[in-house]
Copies of this chain bind each other. A is one copy, B any other.
Amino acid sequence: MLYIIGLGLADEKDISVKGLEIVKRAERVYLEAYTAILLVEKGQLEAFYGRPVIVATRETVESSSDEILDGADKADVAFLVVGDPFSATTHADLLLRARALSIPTRTLPNASILTAVGATGLSLYTFGQTVSLVFFTPSWRPASFYDRLAENARVGLHSLVLLDIKVREPDLAMLARGKIVYEAPRYMSASVAARQMIEVEEGVGPDDDMGRDAVEGRSEGVCTRGKLAVAVARLGSEGQKVVAGTLEQIASDEVERELGKPLHSLVLVGRRMHEVEMEALMDCAVDKTGWEETWRKEYNG
Q: Which residues of A contact B (CB under 8 A)?
A: 6, 8-9, 11-18, 20-21, 84-87, 89, 92, 106-112, 114-119, 121, 123-132, 151, 155, 157, 236, 238, 276, 280
Contacts and interface: CB of A to CB of B under 8 A. Distances in A.
A35 B34 CA distance: 36
Given A114-B115, A130-B124, A13 B17 contact: yes
A16 B13 contact: yes
A86 B124 contact: yes
B16 A21 contact: no
B115 A87 contact: yes
Contacts of A13: 16-18, 21
A273 to B, nearest CB: 13
A155 to B, nearest CB: 5
Give the 5 A-B residue pairs with the shortest CB-CB distance, closest first.
A86-B118, A109-B111, A13-B18, A13-B17, A112-B115
Contacts of A129: 125-128, 155, 157
Contacts of A121: 92
Given A107-B119, A125-B131, 9 more contacts: A8-B109, A9-B109, A16-B16, A17-B20, A86-B115, A86-B116, A92-B121, A112-B115, A114-B124
Given A109-B236, A124-B89, A126-B129, A115 B14 contact: no
A9 B127 CA distance: 22
Contacts of A14: 16-18, 108
Contacts of A85: 118
Contacts of A111: 6, 16, 84, 109-112
Contacts of A124: 86-87, 89, 114, 130
A268 to B, nearest CB: 15
Nearest to A20: B17
A138 to B, nearest CB: 28
Contacts of A12: 17
A117 B112 CA distance: 12
